[in-house]
């Protein structure tokens, strides 16, 4: 496996199941699961960036909606994929500063989502306004950097909220703790990456791949 593009639905299912199993193991043993590398298929020992998202399924009237319960990951390929998924899953469940630690009783109420990333690359522009035509909703996840400030949004986020590219950039700035229009500053650097998103349809249920581009196009119609 040479990159995110090589991952199959079966691979995605393996990673989602691994994320859930990692959190269940932590509840049972109080420690991070450490499988022997030799017990893991070689394709999952390649270094890749990955995020694990935990969403709580909440019923609103006749609709069931996802509410974020934790999301942590590694934007750069610094760890073997299986190891990154295990660590990100535990961190998302117990150490996301935006939420209290996951409770064992919530395991039947949440779905696990794994996003496997391509390495980020800087978007080169001669004018910041070029970002508006170079960034594609449904394809691009983004990272913004300015001095000590840094923020990241996964490619599924603007699709879920039906943002325009400009709104996406504004929220990216705010995620980094910057004013919303900071993307227009010349000293800002913006990087893009793509992601393959695999998620449980229901707790411990079927795993599917999210078709972000198809969703984005459908919402534009």
pLDDT of residue 176: 98
Flag whether pLDDT at 2 surpasses 60. Answer: no
Assign 215 a pLDDT band (cuts: 50, 70, 90). Answer: confident
Based on the domain organization, do 22 and 111 belong to the same domain? yes
Over the stretch 78-98, which tens digit does the pLDDT of each residue have? 999 999 999 999 999 999 999
pLDDT of residue 140: 97
Give the number of residues written for the chain: 221
**Within a domain: residue 74?**
yes
Based on the domain organization, do 109 and 152 belong to the same domain? no
**Within a domain: residue 217?**
no
pLDDT of residue 95: 98
Based on the domain organization, do 114 and 23 belong to the same domain? yes
pLDDT of residue 220: 60
Describe the strand order of the beta sheet including 63-74 as a list of residue ranges: 63-74, 49-60, 110-117, 195-200, 207-209
Assign 61 a pLDDT band (cuts: 50, 70, 90). Answer: confident
CATH number of the domain at 47, please: 3.30.700.20
**Within a domain: residue 215?**
no
Residues 6+ apart with CB under 8 A from 184: 128, 129
pLDDT of residue 1: 42
**Within a domain: residue 184?**
yes
Total number of domains in the chain:
2
Based on the domain organization, do 100 and 173 belong to the same domain? no
**Within a domain: residue 92?**
yes
Over the stretch 100-152, which tens digit does the pLDDT of each residue have? 999 999 999 999 999 999 999 999 999 999 999 999 999 999 999 999 999 99
CA atoms of 201 and 198, how far apart (whole Å): 10
**Within a domain: residue 219?**
no
Based on the domain organization, do 125 and 99 belong to the same domain? no
Based on the domain organization, do 205 and 173 belong to the same domain? no
Please give the mean pLDDT across all residues of the chain: 95
DSSP 156: H
Based on the domain organization, do 65 and 165 belong to the same domain? no
Average pLDDT on 48-67 reads 93
Based on the domain organization, do 21 and 48 belong to the same domain? yes
Based on the domain organization, do 167 and 72 belong to the same domain? no
Based on the domain organization, do 204 and 177 belong to the same domain? no
CA nearest 33: which of 46, 42, 20, 44?
A: 20
Assign 4 a pLDDT band (cuts: 50, 70, 90). Answer: confident
CATH number of the domain at 175, please: 3.30.1490.150
Flag whether pLDDT at 9 surpasses 90. Answer: yes
- The residue range of the domain holding 36 is 4-118+195-210
CA nearest 20: which of 202, 148, 185?
A: 202
**Within a domain: residue 39?**
yes
CA atoms of 80 and 71, how far apart (whole Å): 19
Assign 28 a pLDDT band (cuts: 50, 70, 90). Answer: very high
Based on the domain organization, do 149 and 77 belong to the same domain? no
Q: Which residue has the higher pLDDT, 62 or 105?
A: 105
Based on the domain organization, do 104 and 135 belong to the same domain? no
Flag whether pLDDT at 164 surpasses 80. Answer: yes
pLDDT of residue 5: 79
């Amino acid at each position: 496996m040479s990159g995110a593009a090589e991952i199959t639905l079966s691979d995605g299912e393996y990673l989602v199941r691994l994320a859930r199993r990692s959190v269940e193991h932590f509840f049972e043993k109080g420690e991070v699961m450490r499988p022997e590398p030799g017990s893991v298929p070689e394709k999952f020992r390649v270094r890749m960036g990955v995020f694990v998202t935990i969403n709580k399924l909440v019923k609103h009237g006749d609709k069931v909606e996802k509410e974020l319960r934790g999301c942590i990951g590694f934007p750069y390929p610094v760890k073997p994929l299986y190891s990154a998924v295990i660590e990100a899953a535990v961190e998302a469940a117990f150490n996301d500063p935006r939420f209290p630690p996951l409770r064992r009783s919530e395991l039947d109420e949440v779905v696990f989502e794994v996003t496997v990333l391509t390495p980020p690359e800087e978007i080169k522009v001669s004018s910041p306004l070029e970002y508006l035509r170079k960034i594609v909703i449904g394809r691009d996840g983004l990272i913004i950097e300015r001095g000590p400030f840094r923020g990241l949004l996964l490619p599924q986020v603007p699709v879920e909220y039906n943002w325009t590219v400009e709104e996406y950039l504004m929220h990216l700035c705010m995620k980094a703790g910057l004013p919303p229009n900071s993307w227009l500053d010349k000293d800002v650097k913006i990087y893009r990456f793509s992601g393959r998103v695999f998620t449980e349809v229901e707790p411990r249920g079927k795993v599917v791949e999210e078709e972000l581009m198809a969703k984005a196009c459908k919402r534009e119609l």
